[in-house]
Structure formats: C-alpha cells, structure tokens
Structure 1
Amino acid sequence: MTDATMMLTTTDGVAGRDIAQCLGLVRGSTVRAKHIGSDIVASLRNIVGGEVREYASLLAGAREQAIDRMVAEARLLGADAVVGIRLETSTITQAASEVVAYGTAVRLA
C-alpha cells in the first residue's frame, strides 16, 4: 500500500528493503459523528438487519482521514515509510467514534 512516495505496511519492515533509521511513533486520529437524519435511517435499517451502510461509510472515511494524518506526521519527520501500522476504533459517546491510526516512521536504506 503506498501513498505517493510513502510506503505503508502493517508488517514490521518493508520486504526487500532495509530500515536505515527509526524515526519514532506517528499517529493520526479523527472523531466522527453521523448526521441525525442518517442516524434515523441507520436505526431503521438496524431493525430489519443487514449492513448499516451509513455507519460503514462514516467509518471508512474516518479510517482514511486518520491514515492521512498519520502520513502527514511521518512526512514531517522525513520518513520514507510507516511500518507496523495499526488502526483502533473506540466509542467516545453514543453518537461519536474515534479512529486512530499509528505506526513507526522509518527511513529506508
């Protein structure tokens, strides 16, 4: 997975490349809440069952934004890659969730 020239991986290294320098932890996060109208539609969909597309879309966008913010922090450190990436989601309130992306910024040899 790449973002322009930034290599992103969930593994502890990049296959075929050596890590020249470990720059440290980088992270990005966002807190999202759905619009009340979408909440009503999602609640109705919850009654019938199936995928709750309104929330799936919300969390997909939140994950992308958290990753983008993590990459921006890695770029400020001069990183070529972020390894060991993890994503976590937590509930802040009944109507809002936080998504955090974190990993280790590195320079590749």
Structure 2
Amino acid sequence: MRQQRGFTLLELMVAMVIFAALAISGWQVFDSVNRARERAQLQADNLAVLQYAYLQLQQDMGQVIAYQAASSQKVRLLITLITITIIATTTLMILTTIIQQLMNRLPLCLSHL
C-alpha cells in the first residue's frame, strides 16, 4: 500500500467550505457593527445640534431684561415653558428614533421565528 502524502480533494473542499462559512459570518458581524456605529454617530450628531439650539435659546432667554417685577415673573414663566417644550420635543425625537429602529429590526426578528 502507498503512503499518503497530503490531503485528499474532499478534505480540501470541506476545509474551504468551513473557511468560507466562517468568513461570511465574520463579515456579517463586522457589517452590522459598522452600521450600528454609523447610526450611533448620526444620533450623536443630531443630539449635538439639539443641545446647541437649546443652549442658544437658554442664553437668549437669560439675556431678557425685565422692566417691571410683574413682567419679570412672566419672563421666568416663559423661560420655564420654553425649557419644558424643548425637553418634551427632544424626548419625543429620541422616542421616535427608538421606535423607528425597533420597526427596522422587527422584520429581522420575525424572520428568525
């Protein structure tokens, strides 16, 4: 009987299939991480814009000079209402983004069932 020196074609094909499956799964993980990073960066950019707008409004409202005591209380009330409105709007935008992300993942979750 002849001594075997190497791998058979079948062994090489099986090894290549296993390597290809590992490469594809690694690529999918890398791609999903990359997409998540891009979405996180977009959300961070949007949040930075909202924070800057809030800061500008806060500075503008802080520079309002009240001419009378009664109008000073009205200005404080107005500043409080604007602040609450901005916080509510920001919260609504964040919740909308979260709902959109969940809706985007829903078909993926349903496909695994």
TM over 0.5: no
Structure whose residues are more often strand by fraction = 1
Select the structure with the greater relative contact order (CA < 8 A; seq sep ≥ 6). Answer: 1
- Please, what TM-score do these two structures have when normalized by structure 1? 0.32
